[in-house]
Amino acid sequence: MSQSWHADDDELVGVITEKLTALIRELEDADWGADDVVFAIEDVLNKNWLEKSRALRAARETVPDNFVSDGNEG
């Protein structure tokens, strides 16, 4: 699935990069190896976030732009 990036996403990427860098440094200071931390972050993202986010994105993309809910879809 292709990723779509918007102009504002550069700011978001910067914030996330800053936060992840701080987290990695904090855990390195607690004697965790950088590789261990990075791969643990990857595992958490894969197990808890990416699959769900991709499924929601795919579902949103299948809904027509002119769709109006009447509340009885379910």
Could you tell me how many helices (H) and strands (E) the chain has, helices first? Answer: 3, 0
Per-residue pLDDT band at 7 (split at 50, 70, 90): low
- Report the percentage of the chain scoring pLDDT > 70: 89
pLDDT in tens, 18-50: 999 999 999 999 999 999 999 999 999 999 999
What does the alpha-carbon distance between residue 45 and residue 55 come to, in Å, rounded to a whole number? Answer: 14
